[in-house]
């Protein structure tokens, strides 16, 4: 299984998000798609506007934590949902682009509000097949 992908995993009252990719950046992108999918079906979100997010951390796991929280903050402050992400990681810096649209409650039918990423189950690592995994539990 070599395709970039995302998935959820259950964690008590919260939800785990997990991204897989050929690079760490692609795994971070897929983790962000999984975050969107906690709220709504990402395929129902048009990628009509883009915003940028930047993070910096010495540790890849903290970088993922900061990245997902930057996505949550952008959703909350801009009243948007995002369906497409582009991440560039150089050293300890992440530059991200988020594409989406303003929330339309009737069309997007948001299920829950994600309050933020947590340190629970936080992991950025290579999988046995050489791909990248990026995951954590998000507070809903």
Centre a 10 Å sphere on the Cβ of residue 110 and count the other Cβ atoms it contains: 14
CA distance 117 to 103: 20
CA distance 12 to 103: 27
Domain with 95, as residue range(s), is 5-139
Residue pLDDT, tens place only, 86-99: 999 999 999 999 99
Q: Element (H or E) spanning 101, and its range?
A: strand 93-102
Residue pLDDT, tens place only, 29-58: 999 999 999 999 999 999 999 999 999 999
* CATH number assigned to the domain comprising residue 73: 3.55.10.10
Mean pLDDT value of segment 57-76: 98
Domain count, the chain: 1
pLDDT attached to residue 4: 86
Residue 11's pLDDT band (cuts 50, 70, 90): low
Centre a 10 Å sphere on the Cβ of residue 74 and count the other Cβ atoms it contains: 19
Supply the Cα-derived Rg of the chain in whole angstroms.
14
């Amino acid at each position: 299984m070599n395709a970039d992908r995302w998935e959820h995993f259950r964690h008590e009252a919260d939800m785990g998000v997990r991204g897989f990719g050929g690079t760490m950046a692609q795994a971070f992108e897929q983790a962000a798609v999984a975050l969107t999918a906690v709220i709504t079906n990402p395929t129902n979100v048009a990628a009509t506007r883009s915003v940028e997010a930047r993070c910096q951390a010495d540790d890849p796991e903290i970088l993922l934590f900061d990245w997902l929280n930057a996505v949550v903050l952008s959703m909350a402050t801009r009243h948007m949902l995002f369906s497409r992400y582009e991440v560039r990681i150089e050293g300890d810096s992440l530059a991200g682009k988020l594409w989406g649209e303003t929330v339309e409650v009737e069309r997007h039918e948001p299920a829950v509000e994600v309050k933020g990423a947590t340190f629970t189950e936080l992991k950025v690592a290579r999988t046995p097949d050489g791909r990248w995994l990026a995951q954590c539990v998000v507070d809903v």
